[in-house]
Structure 1
Amino acid sequence: MAGISWHYVFKFIITGDAAVGKSSLLIRLTDQRFLANPDPTLGVEFGSKLITIPEENKIIKLQCWDTAGTESFRSITRSYYRGAAGCLLVYDVTSRKSFLNARTWLADVRQHADPHLTCILVGNKVDLCQDESELESNSNAERTSSTRVHNESNAAKHKRQVSVEEAELFAKEEGLLFVESSAKSGLNVERAFEQAARDILDKIHRGTFDDDQSPGVKLSKPATGNTPNNTLSLDGVRSRPSCCSS
């Protein structure tokens, strides 16, 4: 549509244990690059991205808040849960502890965020597992000796500590969306956000989100700028500019 750069702004939070790749997922989404050793997140970090949902003919601006995964910053990060429309709950597929702790993070989000928030469980770092390693190896034009590939594959095979089936069961029990990803290769990174964005749009269509009332979803302004209230809210509380500003 002429004069409209986006139709909605969706506020997302990214949560989970430290070192599961939350910052790397955000950097991959916004900058299309992989940062091998990002500095630990202190409090929160912000990034934004425009995505298109073709079947809806909508352009969505994602405003993403990457939250610290350590207890010392819990009081700060919890304040960003309020008003979020979407959440990426991230764990590391090679760390069973991070998967088990996902329940605690989910409970924390549900305690402080709106109950209608869309949450997608993201199993990150599949590039460290055999199945992903083999996919990458097969796509390389040049390959090392078969012995070396075999040894590396065997080593990688033992790194996965959370099966797809177990994660899918957890997601189903908790009413979450689910995908496995790799911030390193870019596998399913945009898909995770797009899948959640589609679910949020569906909730808007079904009236789960009260038009004019949600800090996590902002409507585009018409060219005249005469709309008195262009914000959507799940809990009837107006968003603070720092949490969902364009």
Structure 2
Amino acid sequence: MTDKQGIDRGQNENSEGKYDRIFKLLVVGDCDVGKTSLMLRYTTDAFTPDSVSTVGVDFKLKTIFKNGRRIKLQIWDTAGQERFRTITTAYFRGAVGIVLMYDIANEESFRALQEWSAQIKQHAAESTQVILVGNKSDIEKDRVVPTSKGSELAEQLGFLFLEASSVLNHNVSQVFEQLVDAICQQTTVTVATPSAKLTDSQPALRPAHSCSC
């Protein structure tokens, strides 16, 4: 069953492969900002320096646990090339969270954020939560976009903000933790501990009637 916010609910948390909720997340931004690397680092804890540009759309699944609830993340990695933009926009439908990325060493990718934010406003639901991510913080010597500039833009757009590095695995998990926290707070489900750390291992399950994410 799917609710109005594009969130599916599992039937029974005690059944193998079942889940309490599923969140569709998108990772968007210009080509070569590191979208695929961020997604793979988070879902597989691996970094591949020679990853090729995504053609069209790809996705990975990751199951996490928050406050004893099983949440399945469906993370869609989208192509940044102009010719794939019409494909990408179709995937905004049903997304409850978006990771919007730029490269801190690429001014053009930062300037493109205005266009990307316009796409989000046009195609995503009003309730969709967005986090702006300045990627490749490991190449500080090549930085051209100051942290303050990214933070200011995020505040203007009403987005969350973090800088991250897939190479160093810096703030990668935090990107998705903050996004999931924001999604949970946006939904009608009571969040007992909004800042609770997301984990990959299953804790003792709560009674079925307790439905906080």
User: Under a length normalisation based on structure 2, what TM-score does the superposition of the two structures give?
Assistant: 0.79
Q: Structure 2: which amino acid aligns with 1:103?
A: Q
The one-letter amino acid paired with 1:107 is A
| Residue 32 (1) aligns with residue 35 (2) | no
Give me the whole-angstrom Cα distance separating, in 2, the residues matched to 1:178 and 1:58. 26
Render the CA deviation track for 1:158-213: whole Å, top value 9, x for unaligned. Answer: x1111111111111111100111001111111110111011111111379xxxxxx
Alignment correspondent of 1:119: 130
Unpaired stretches in structure 1, ≥5 consecutive residues: 130-155, 208-246
Q: 2:81 aligns with which of 42, 60, 70?
A: 70
Question: How many pairs are equivalent?
Answer: 177
1:83 correspondence with 2:73: no
For residue 178 of structure 2, give the secondary structure of its aligned residue in structure 1.
helix
CA distance in 1, matches of 2:119, 2:99: 13
* Aligned 8 A contact 1:51 1:194 in 2: no
Compute the displacement of 1:93 (Å).
0.7
Kindly provide the amino acid, as one letter, of the partner of residue 174 in structure 1.
L
Match of 1:2 in 2: 14
Letter in 2 for 1:195: Q
- Give the distance between the partners of 2:34 and 2:162, measured in 1 at CA: 14
Shift of 1:58: 2.4
Distance 1:3 1:42 in 2: 35
Give SS of 1:205's match.
Answer: coil
In 1, Cα distance between equivalents of 2:143 and 2:113: 16
State the distance in 2 between where 1:89 and 1:52 align: 24
In structure 2, how many angstroms separate the alpha carbons of the residues matched to 1:166 and 1:204? 30
Structure 2 residues without counterparts, runs of 5 or longer: 1-12, 191-213
The structure that is helix-richer by fraction is 1
Match of 2:175 in 1: 192
Cα offset, 1:71, TM superposition: 0.8
Instruction: Give the match's secondary structure for 2:58.
Output: strand
2:106 aligned partner: 95
Q: Which structure has the larger Rg over C-alpha atoms?
A: 1
Q: Which residue is 1:160 aligned to?
A: 143
Aligned counterparts of 2:81 and 2:153: Cα–Cα separation in 1: 23
1:2 offset after TM fit, Å?
3.4
Note the alpha carbon deviations across 1:187-241, whole angstroms, 9 max, x for none: 111110111011111111379xxxxxxxxxxxxxxxxxxxxxxxxxxxxxxxxxx
Identity of aligned residues (%): 38
Please identify runs of 4+ aligned residues in structure 1 that moved more than 3 A: 1-5
